[in-house]
Amino acid sequence: MSFLMVILLALLLLCFFSFLLRWSVVRYNKKGLPPGTMGWPIFGETTEFLKQGPNFMKNQRARYGSFFKSHILGCPTIVCMDPEINRYILMNEAKGLVPGYPKSMLDILGKCNIAAVHGSTHKYMRGALLSLINPTMMRNHLLPTIDVFMRTYLNDWDDRIINIQDKSKEMAFLSALKQIASIDSGLLCDSFMPEFFKLVLGTLSLPIDFPGTNYRRGIQARKNIVSILSQLIEERRSCQQPHQDMLSCLLGSDDIKYKLTDQEIIDLIITIIYSGYETVSTTSMMAVKYLHDHPLVLQELKREQFSVKERKKPEDPIDWNDLKSMRFTRAVIFETSRLATIVNGVLRKTTKDMELNGFLVPKGWRIYVYTREINYDPFLYADPLSFNPWRWLDKNMESHSNFFIFGGGTRQCPGKELGIAEISTFLHYFVTRYRWEEVGGDKLTKFPRVEAPNGLHIRVSSY
Ligand code: HEM
């Protein structure tokens, strides 16, 4: 009897699972959709995608071509690995190809966050941001602030074992805070930093609003950050002392071109810290890693940085001309971003049914503009797996149409030069003051994010 029950149960389970799979096939079997598989209902192919990482993408491309459908991270998704179509997608937001970032990210970053707004609102918010970080602002205000910050931040690293992953994260956060509101270490910073780290984790979590989830903590962290920033804005308004920072520009007199509401100012500040945080910190950490592993590159970088140092007095800050002269350092930053692939791609979604590459893409589907593989294309980058910054000096690679490290089209990274300035200044003070070696034994993972799960420890000593 119990044997029969087991058989019956097994049959029922079999029917149930084949129904689920069938449901998926039927549900997404609209005529004209691109080829591909959708996996299980709700979960789709997320587990395979996260487990196999870039290999999942490569295998699907081998079976279905560079434009295929899948169901990942909770959404029916088109993955596009074709550079031409990717460029078209990034250039054509007005045709209904808007940012498609996950709900948790949008909830936590706020409804005026740049990734959440489209059309004229996006133009306005982007204009406001660019007015803070344009070349004149960079030259006159941001670069001097970055210089003061980096030379102080890199004090006292001598004769210590440092977790460069933690340090570069802290560095990216504190540097942004100083540029935004002249905040140095202190009480405000001590309360802001842990909230910001919770906010970041929340944006990368599933939107499950339950006590103890990263999402709930992220939402709470946002509330705390909004309250800190509102208080800061109030204080600034009642204070007579002039400040030279982004917040003072945003709160400036009534005749400024971009007048934002307090909520927009707060969301823009969160956008600036958030967008530069992981990109700048991970690129800095990986640059330290690659420089350690490639002595000839380090030698060339040091030659460049010492020649900057030698033509200045010790108290002279890194200025615009110094930055422009750091051609090899810039190349090291690009090569690091390429080889480590700090950004795998960007997300868009459709606001209406549309035809792309001869296929139907239904309204509300996500498009993963997956640019990772371009970084390893041997036609673009000879011997693509080698760390070779010199390749960026040879041709004008930076303006190549398939260069997607900073995105492309209407949402191309507005913080590119600011990010490069921060990393270059960090590298300047790091390599001209210290030598270092890895302690060893630390692991690095490259997907879905580049990180050292237990930190990346280096032993630092001064010259
Ligand atoms: C090495 C450093 C950086 C890298 C690799 C990087 C990469 C990117 C990429 C790939 C995008 C495109 C996103 C999309 O199309 O959806 C982007 C957008 C953006 N980045 Fe960066 N970024 C860096 C540094 C920064 C910094 C320092 C800031 C600070 C201001 C910043 C602010 C932004 C903003 C606000 C956007 C959204 C632009 C829009 O939607 O119009 N980024 N970044």
Closest residue CA from atom 18 of ligand 1: 413
Quote the ligand 1 centre to 415 CA distance (angstroms): 6
How far apart CA 72 and CA 60 sit, in angstroms, is 13
Read off the pLDDT band of 312 (50, 70, 90): very high
pLDDT at 401: 86
Q: What mean pLDDT is predicted for residues 204-215?
A: 92
- Position in ligand 1 atom list of the atom nearest CA 126: 41
The architecture (CATH level 2) of 102-342+374-433 comes to: Orthogonal Bundle (1.10)
User: Residue written as tokens 């700048």?
Assistant: 280
As a whole number, the mean pLDDT across the chain is 93
Q: What is the DSSP letter of 358?
A: T
pLDDT at 32: 93
pLDDT at 342: 94
Q: What mean pLDDT is predicted for residues 92-103?
A: 95
Express each pLDDT in 230-288 by its tens digit.
999 999 999 878 888 999 999 986 657 888 999 999 999 999 999 999 999 999 999 99
Quote the ligand 1 centre to 278 CA distance (angstroms): 10
List the end-to-end C-alpha distance of the chain, in Å, as a whole number. Answer: 81
How far apart CA 99 and CA 90 sit, in angstroms, is 9
Predicted confidence (pLDDT) at residue 16 exceeds the cutoff of 70 = no
User: Residue written as tokens 């706020």?
Assistant: 110
Predicted confidence (pLDDT) at residue 294 exceeds the cutoff of 60 = yes
| Amino acid at site 289 | K
Read off the pLDDT band of 26 (50, 70, 90): low
Q: Can you say how many angstroms the Cα of residue 98 is from the centroid of all Cα atoms in its chain?
A: 18
pLDDT at 15: 60
Express each pLDDT in 397-421 by its tens digit.
888 888 999 999 999 999 999 999 9
Residue ranges around ligand 1 (CB below 6 Å):
99, 114-115, 126, 129, 133, 271-272, 275-276, 279-280, 283, 337, 342-343, 346, 405-407, 411, 413-415, 418-419
Q: Which helix (H) or strand (E) holds 61?
A: helix 54-64
pLDDT at 88: 97
Q: CA torsion angle for 362, 367, 373, 378 (degrees, to 10)?
A: 60
pLDDT at 187: 79
pLDDT at 256: 74
pLDDT at 25: 61
Which one, of 106, 71, 95, 55, lies nearest residue 215 by Cα? 106
Read off the pLDDT band of 43 (50, 70, 90): confident
Which one, of 383, 385, 368, 417, lies nearest residue 97 by Cα? 368
Q: What mean pLDDT is predicted for residues 18-46?
A: 77
Quote the ligand 1 centre to 113 CA distance (angstroms): 13
Q: What mean pLDDT is predicted for residues 24-34?
A: 75
Three-state secondary structure call for residue 354: strand
How far apart CA 446 and CA 362 sit, in angstroms, is 32
Q: Any binding-site annotation on 413?
A: yes
Tell which one of 175, 366, 413, 420 to mutate to probe ligand 1, the residue whose CB is within 8 A of the most ligand atoms. 413
* SS3 letters across 13-34: HHHHHHHHHHHHHHHCCCCCCC
